[in-house]
Chains A and B, each alone.
Chain A
Amino acid sequence: MALLRYESQVRPPLVEGDKDYHQVTEDICRPVEAKPSRLWWIGFLISAVLLAFGILSVTMEVMYGTGQWNLNRTIGWGWDITNFVWWVGIGHAGTLISAILLLFRQGWRTGVNRAAEAMTIFAVMCAGQFPIWHMGRVWNAFFVLPYPNTRGPLWVNFNSPLLWDVFAISTYFTVSLLFWYSGLLPDLATLRDRAKEKWAKAFYGVAAFGWTGSTKHWQRHEALSLVLAGLSTPLVLSVHTIVSFDFATSVVPGWHTTIFPPYFVAGAIFSGFAMVQTLLVVTRKVLGLEEYITIEHVDVMNKVIVLTGSIVGIAYLTELFMAWYSHVPYEWFAFKENRVNLASPYGWSYWIMMGCNVLSPQIFWFRKMRRNLVVTFFMSILVNIGMWFERFVIIVTSIYRDYLPSAWSTYYKPSIWEVGFYIGTFGLFFTCYFLFSKFFPVIAIAEIKHILKRSGHKYKDGMTEIEHESVEVFADHHGHDHGA
Chain B
Amino acid sequence: MSIREQFVATKKYNGIALALMTLGALAIAGLYVTQGSKADEHQQARFWAALLHNSVYFLLVVNAAMFFICATTLAWGGWQMAFRRVPEAISAVVPVIGTIAGVILLVICFGNNHELYHWTDPVKAKTDAAFIWKAGFLNKNFFAGWTVFTIVAWSVLGWKMRQLSRKLDEKPLESNEAAKKYVWNNTVWAAMFIIIFSLTVMSSIPWLWLMSIDAHWFSTMYSWYTFASSFVAGVALITLYVVYLKNNDYLEYTNEEHLHDLGKFMFAFSIFWTYLWFSQFMLIWYSNQPEETIYFIKRVGNTAKDSPYAGIFWLMFIINFLAPLLILMRRSSKRNYSTITFMALLILFGHWLDFYQMIFPGPSPDHVPMILYDFGVALFFVGLIMFVTGKALGRAPLLAKNHPFVKESLIHHT
Residues of chain B with a CB closer than 8 A to A77's CB: none
- Comparing B31-39, B311-319, B346-354, B400-408, the segment that makes contact with chain A is B400-408
Quick check: is A144 within 8 A (CB to CB) of the other chain? no
Contact (Cβ within 8 A) A3 B286: no
Contact (Cβ within 8 A) B405 A10: yes
Kindly identify, within residues 192 to 241 of chain B, every residue whose CB is under 8 Å from any CB belonging to chain A. 198, 202-203, 207, 216, 218-224
Contact (Cβ within 8 A) B287 A256: yes
Give the CA-CA distance A481 to B401 in the complex, in Å: 18
Give A300 Cβ to nearest chain B Cβ, in Å. 9
Contact (Cβ within 8 A) B180 A10: yes
Give the CA-CA distance A39 to B155 in the complex, in Å: 57
Contact (Cβ within 8 A) B183 A250: no
Contact (Cβ within 8 A) B410 A478: yes
Q: What DSSP secondary structure best describes chain B's contact surface?
A: helix
Residues of chain A with a CB closer than 8 A to B335's CB: 483
Kindly identify, within residues 156 to 203 of chain B, every residue whose CB is under 8 Å from any CB belonging to chain A. 176, 179-180, 183, 191, 198, 202-203
Q: How large is the interface on A (under 10, 10 to 19, 20 to 34, 35 or more residues)?
A: 35 or more
Give the CA-CA distance A322 to B223 in the complex, in Å: 12
A472 with B289: in contact, given A3-B411, A10-B183, A314-B203 (CB under 8 Å)?
A: no
A327 with B283: in contact, given A258-B220, A475-B253 (CB under 8 Å)?
A: no
Residues of chain B with a CB closer than 8 A to A10's CB: 176, 179-180, 183, 404-405
For A245, A261, A467, A471, which residue has the most chain B Cβ atoms within 10 angstroms?
Answer: A471
Kindly identify, within residues 231 to 260 of chain B, every residue whose CB is under 8 Å from any CB belonging to chain A. 252-253, 255-257, 259
Residues of chain B with a CB closer than 8 A to A319's CB: 220
Give the CA-CA distance A478 to B253 in the complex, in Å: 11
- Comparing B43-51, B87-95, B128-136, the segment that makes contact with chain A is B128-136
Number of interface residues of B (CB under 8 A): 57
Quick check: is B3 within 8 A (CB to CB) of the other chain? yes
Give the CA-CA distance A241 to B277 in the complex, in Å: 13
Give the CA-CA distance A8 to B182 in the complex, in Å: 13
Which partner residue on chain B sits nearest A230 by CB separation? B329
Kindly identify, within residues 355 to 376 of chain A, every residue whose CB is under 8 Å from any CB belonging to chain B. 365
Quick check: is A262 within 8 A (CB to CB) of the other chain? yes
Contact (Cβ within 8 A) A471 B276: no
Quick check: is B110 within 8 A (CB to CB) of the other chain? no
Quick check: is B413 within 8 A (CB to CB) of the other chain? yes
A326 with B218: in contact, given A6-B407, A466-B407 (CB under 8 Å)?
A: yes
A249 with B283: in contact, given A10-B183, A259-B224, A317-B203 (CB under 8 Å)?
A: yes
Give A63 Cβ to nearest chain B Cβ, in Å. 38
Kindly identify, within residues 456 to 474 of chain A, every residue whose CB is under 8 Å from any CB belonging to chain B. 466-467, 469-472, 474
Residues of chain A with a CB closer than 8 A to B283's CB: 245, 248-249, 256-258, 260-261
Residues of chain A with a CB closer than 8 A to B289's CB: 251, 256
Contact (Cβ within 8 A) B76 A11: yes
Chain A to chain B contacts (Cβ below 8 Å), 23 pairs? A7-B408, A8-B404, A8-B408, A10-B176, A105-B414, A245-B283, A248-B287, A251-B287, A258-B219, A261-B279, A261-B283, A322-B219, A322-B220, A325-B134, A327-B216, A365-B191, A467-B176, A469-B407, A471-B399, A475-B253, A480-B413, A482-B257, A484-B253
